[in-house]
Chains A and B, each alone.
Chain A
Amino acid sequence: MNARKKDSEMTDQATRAAGPVPSPQRAVRDVPDVPKEPVFTTQDLNIHYGDFHAVTDVSMEFGKNEITALIGPSGCGKSTVLRCLNRMNDLIPTARVSGEVRYHGIELYGPKIDPIEVRRRIGMVFQKANPFPKSIYDNIAYGPRVTGMKVDSMDDLVEQTLRRAALWDEVKDKLKQNAYGLSGGQQQRLCIARAIATNPDVVLMDEPCSALDPIATLRIEELMAELRESYTIIIVTHNMQQAARVSDRTAFFTVKVNETTGDRTGGLVEFDRTTTIFENPSDQRTEGYISGRFG
């Protein structure tokens, strides 16, 4: 806690020069063999973009109040799977999802499901920080406003949200200023804050730190560890150390090549507790990727 407070007082510039970044300290969590209470369950999930078969036969469970990391080389379909969990793939006209995706037991792609309601419960943080070109205050208030949330005091909600996202102390004096004035790391934390302002059940993160420096990355990882107490988090990352540091479970995806047709498709190789994946993987491909031999 002390280390974090110190960080927040330094500017990005100063900390960048401060030398190597210590890895975050976190208590070893007791992760059960299988998620006690799955939030998402996928069964033979297949995703196509037009004729392109992007993801083949993914079956896995995402546990409540756990951080699940999806790792793997480019083109392995990890982001595609992530976007399918809050129906963001609906926005791509050619995308087609088959198989089963259950959210608390409800079929997410059922005919009566409203994708807008889905997205209100399942928030998303994107690769590149994408705050709205509005004030910090309006960025946070946007979600509650558009979803018609009953709010006693928007000021209180904004403050609480920013506090939960550990951003309040840095921005409390400039809530009415444009969010574009913040640093890259602050913008991304603002986007996380924006995503939790509507009090969702799940937060999906698509490579949230790939455009950030190590210090900003560290802050977001600490934030994720705190948010895990209240939310279920699923993160796609290119950074294996990040997956090892923050996640409870890790799913390793890879590109599978059909030997007869030469078609490439993404698929799940191994899904287990993070400690198992990184210390004792059962699949050779996982071991090869973890140890940096391919990918």
Chain B
Amino acid sequence: MRQSGRTRVAVDAARASASTLERRGIDVKGELFRAVLLFCVVIGVVMLATLLIYVTIAGWPRLDVNLFTQMPSTRDPQTSGFLPAIVGTIYVMFGVLITTVPIGVSAAIYLEEYADASKWYNRFIETNIQNLAAVPSIVFGILGLAFIVRGPWGLGFVAFAGSLTLMMMVLPTVIIASREAIRGVPSTLRQASLGLGATRWQTVSRQVLPVAFPGVLTGTILAMSRAIGETAPLLLVGATTFVRFLPEGLFEGAYSVMTVQIFQWAMRPQEEFRTLAAAGSIVLVALLLLMNSVAIWLRNKYSREY
């Protein structure tokens, strides 16, 4: 192919300019931006690290067997523990688990598999689930006090009232996570099942849910770890700050939870009780990290199937 004179001139010019491809000093704006971003990351990590180190140092002397086996005491911080709070937390979290999972997963199945998005009420529900996730937890505490502890349900100040209050709080998280997981199931799988003459329920229960299960589980664990660290709404629905006995059951007797017990210890003037609060915090943080790790592990374990 023959080049015209003009083309050749243009090509020569382009070649000549290659000599100016060298770097012309430092890109100041680019480097500055990079430094700012890095600084922001460092702030977050340093704050978290400082907190963990401080709590560990402060609580280390009391991280002993007594912490897990003894009742709390107002007089003798050395042998004081928070066994009732640990048991109370287990009761409350059990209640959260057995209510949140069936309700949350069912709601997610409805919204993903059955709801007709062109109907106004389905869109209304969708929007409001997002909104509910952003409601401050103390508001759920007030709601729990008015409707679950007193009012129409009238359960009284029992562990299950705490469970239901926390359930309301974490339900949106579970619904949103479960919807993501269900949406991630390829539609070809549904078509294959329906094409064989399976009903919609058979398709959902035998094909969609098993594939979505790891995602649902991850969302549930994250929701549980949010609930276990919650204090404010439980103060309103009866997690008593000081109990020297184990809760009698889900539906009777006063109860306490770990966060509330830590809060109560931290409020006391004596140094020993603050050490105790720090020790309790270590246990709580360790538990949270463990739960989050399990969630991450599950996600990685199952994420390669599709």
Contacts and interface: CB of A to CB of B under 8 A. Distances in A.
A47 B188 CA distance: 22
Main SS at interface, chain B: helix
A116 interface: yes
B197 A120 contact: yes
A123 interface: yes
Contacts of B118: 93
Given A133-B211, A133-B305, A146-B202, A119 B195 contact: yes
Interface string B273-306: 0000000000000000000000000000000011
A175 B126 CA distance: 43
Interface string A210-224: 000000000000000
A142 B195 contact: no
A116 B199 contact: yes
A130 B192 contact: yes
A151 interface: no
A131 B195 CA distance: 12
Contacts, number: 68
Contacts of B198: 116, 142-143, 146-147
Nearest to A138: B206
Contacts of B196: 119-120, 123, 142-143, 146-147, 194-195, 198
Interface in A108-147: 116-117, 119-121, 123-124, 126, 128, 130-133, 142-143, 146-147
Interface string A184-221: 00000001001100100000000000000000000000
A91 B197 contact: no
B193 interface: yes
Interface residues of B, number: 22
Interface residues of A, number: 25
A274 to B, nearest CB: 26
A199 to B, nearest CB: 11
B203 to A, nearest CB: 8
Interface string B116-154: 101000000000000000000000000000000000000
Interface of A: 86, 88, 91, 93, 116-117, 119-121, 123-124, 126, 128, 130-133, 142-143, 146-147, 191, 194-195, 198
